[in-house]
Amino acid sequence: MNWMRWVAMTGLWAVLIGSGGAMADSPASFLETFNAEARSAGEGPGNPARGQEFFNKTHGNEWKCAACHGAVPTGKGEHAVTHKVIEPMAPAFNPQRFTDAAKVEKWFRRNCKDVLARECTAREKADVLAWLISLK
């Protein structure tokens, strides 16, 4: 086994052991990441009040987050066009929310483009996630 592969495998085992064998992320770890990215861009950390405001208003496009997820996303929502049921966004009401990095990236990218006609900034993501985490 070459040394680079050994280093990679050692790192993987450290992650597995440190996480109790689970490979899931958590809402708090995503918020920490978005806050760090926002700080490196010269912005402050996520703010729940800003997140609630962002979620419930339009930003130049027709849609707002609340159009599909509800003004307080603690219950099921419904896609405005397809009418597909959307599980609650708030992690306290849906433990699977914000536990998979690929899904978090995919849905922030897709939904931000629908709402903003661009990708969200790290601070916008941090604001929304800070608010969603605060919902109990």
pLDDT in tens, 65-84: 999 999 999 999 999 899 99
Mean pLDDT of 45-54: 97
Look at residue 16 in the predicted model and tell me its pLDDT: 36
Look at residue 64 in the predicted model and tell me its pLDDT: 94
Range of the domain at 78: 25-134
Q: 85 lies in a domain?
A: yes
Q: 18 lies in a domain?
A: no
Look at residue 22 in the predicted model and tell me its pLDDT: 43
Residue 99 sits in a domain whose CATH number is 1.10.760.10
Q: Which helix (H) or strand (E) holds 77?
A: strand 77-78
The C-alpha atoms of residue 111 and residue 7 are separated, in whole angstroms, by 37
Q: 63 lies in a domain?
A: yes
Q: 6 lies in a domain?
A: no
Number of domains in the chain: 1
pLDDT, tens digit, for every residue of 79-117? 989 999 999 999 999 999 999 999 999 999 999 999 999
Q: 105 lies in a domain?
A: yes
For the entire predicted model, the pTM comes to: 0.81
Q: 16 lies in a domain?
A: no
Q: 61 lies in a domain?
A: yes
